[in-house]
Structure 1
Amino acid sequence: MHPEFAPIAFLSAFSLALPLPWHWRAGNVATLSIMFWLFVTNIIYAIDALIWGNNVDIVATVWCDISTKLIVGSNIALPAACLCVCIHLESVASVRQARTSISDKRRRQLYELLACFVVPLVFMILHYIVQGHRFDIIEEYGCRPTTYFSIPSIFLMTVPPMLLSIASLVVGGLALRHFIVRRMSFAAHLDASHSALTTSRYLRLMLMAMLEMIWSLAVTTYTLWFTTIGIPLRPYSSWAEVHSNFSRIDTYPTIFIPDIVLRTYYFLWWLVPISTIAFVAMFAFGRDAMEEYKKCFLLIRRVIFRGPASGTPKKSFDKKGAMELPSYESSPGAATAPASPGALKHAEAAYDRQSVASFSVGPALSYHAHPVDESLDFDSDFYSETCSSYAPTTPSPLARAPIPPPGDLAFAPPRSRNLTGDAPRPYTYPSLDASHHAISSAV
């Protein structure tokens, strides 16, 4: 009994969503196909472990018909995808092509679609030639595809994955050699070719492809050896004999399975989750992945929780609910004055009507009270209470002074006020620019 099978397989399957976004945007068909086939195989393993965890009941037969064919397809799809990745990496590292055009990228994507999805589909159809009966059900492991072990089955089901893995090793070795030779100028070449790859992504893709192809070659070779010593090679005499009683479903309780066979099934089962975890570990914790997580977090906070966007200042409140207004003093350690949120709205409204304050420069920047027009809808008592901490008790003599000549560091408010709301605001900082003085003189 292996109760850990289902949760581990589900966790491995859904962990593939972590590196998915940037692979999708980059249009890496081969890498996406690896993720797809690993996801499908993990889901099949998880569901099979849930259904047949402690029984060999013949149930969900349609599910078994579909899942067994998908397992057969994944046996050829993963080596084919690794070969496509290695071919692309070798092409990038060889510097045979200075730039990659859009047409070249689309042509490569079409080729990878054919290799990673059409070839496995053909492989699944060809499996019917050497399929002795419908499928087998193994306790704890679920339904598995069957093969009539013969010379045709070796050439159809075993040799193609082995050849693809060997070709991937050769092309991957060439890509690694090109990278070592040109490692000093490799990053500059990637920038010049407008490739979505970086040096870090290149090395991770290379490591992932090498790992997948070595595992595929080792597993295929081991399966062939184990089948040869365990099952005698049978002659493929005729189609009718091979497919006689084709609808048969064989069941295998674990109590009747030899220990060496159970260990082999256990080893082969763990290959898929371990390969998935290795893939996620290579691509889910890099710098580009961390940037993706940050963008997703900011999007969720802005859309779902209505939080501020990145870089938006937050309003802080003290323990009594009063909001801290920023200090207008030039000294770094100047204190801030609290005001309630309602008081802040009144102060902002008064400031927008340009009847509250003017500015002057002394040892520190500070507000100076300005006479208020009684015709405005403005609470002068509130203003005097709220802004008393910013203004001296008597108006500054600069409030009535004429505009100083250029070069002076003090500005008076505009000499005329248009209280209809279209007058420009007073300057909020001193300026020595002559154009600013011209604008002030024209008001």
Structure 2
Amino acid sequence: MEFDQRNLRVFVSSKMAELAEERQAIQTALKELFIATFVFEADAGARETTIEQTFVEELREADLYIGLFWRGYGEYTMQEYQTAGDLGMDRLIFEKRVAVEQRDSELQQFLDGIAHVREGVTIRWFTTQDELRTFVKQDVQKWLTSKARRSRHQDPRAIQPELLPCLCDREQQDQELQTALVPTLREKRTRPSVLIVHGHELEGHGHYVNRLELQSLLDILTLASVRGQGKVVRINEALRANQSQRDFGITLRMALAKRLQVAYQEDDRFLVEFARRHQLKALVPVLSVQSSEQMRGQGTLLEKTCAYVAEFPDLPEGLLVSFLVCFHYEDTAPQEAPEQGWRRWWPWRTRPSTADGDRVLREELQSCREKYHGDPRLHFVELPPLTSPTPEHVFRWLDYDQVKHHVPFVPQREVMNLFAGRPNLPMDELYEKLLELLPS
């Protein structure tokens, strides 16, 4: 059965009196994700059944249990947690870490018990309502993504082994992408988007585009309860942005027509027609710019792209069109890279112009952010910068079903050896090392 988010319901459990405001904060966070909640004091109403019968009935109707705990021990709260487990429900637990010295000893014993390393759950700590709202949205989105993937019943061998390293890290970018684009599909908005992903050229922009094509785009469609496929269109031609806006539009359309193998048309609706003919629900053209190109007078690609998208015709409801622009910085070294390995030869490779090119790219990004953020003609989305993955990212990658199918077990020491004492590695370098773990 295909996963459908539209009827999801979350049961929120806690001691009512001491965490009333936090319960409301969770309701607010989940409402932004279009997810219904059951909060006893707000939704139970008057019933002929007992309190225990009522919460058991509501738990049976829910898809996810969220437990909130602070200082007081509540008998019904503990029963709700246990009943959710008996029903086989997924459970997310949030613990308020304020004045914990006043906590009931029975509650502390309970929390210690459910947080068992091998058999328990992972508890998320929070201190403020704002933190709680943020954490709930993040963790429920992760849960939704996991549920959506399981519902597809994908063969774990579906992704070719040589492409699996692109699934390492980049959860931040995926979360921001989902936050921006899932509502676009759910609310049937008719304006296209411009997405910006930026980072050092060694941080694997191409690998991120592969991830988008293999997994992230399908996750977005599934979370939005949209049945269909998406397509990523890589524009490999170098597009000169130092031409007029009209000529840039013609050049971009010609490049798109070539990649899609369709006849060139001056009307942008040929993209919509292509999507309709191939039953696509998402179309993502990808453009790239190096900082050194800025110093060769290639113009402002992002500004030209935003202006092009702003004049794009309205889309039919249920179709997502997003232009992804990749900024490749060339001078600033990847995050926290040490003075060894590639850094030994990096100074000799750097051209004097790349620092200026990086600066120009950042200024262009800032200018477009100020000009187009909030512009009703397009949805301007800046993704978090691509940074260097850490060993923790590799451990999470090894836990993916697709990866475990090929690599059932890798000792912790072997993972740490990949980094050779370094806190992180640029994605391009790490990608090659991860390939060595996979079967040839």
For Structure 1 versus Structure 2, the TM-score category normalised by the shorter chain is under 0.3
Length-normalised TM-score, structure 1: 0.21
**Structure (1/2) with the larger strand percentage:** 2
Higher relative contact order (CA 8 A, sep 6+): 2
Whose radius of gyration is greater, 1 or 2? 1
**Structure (1/2) with the larger helix percentage:** 1
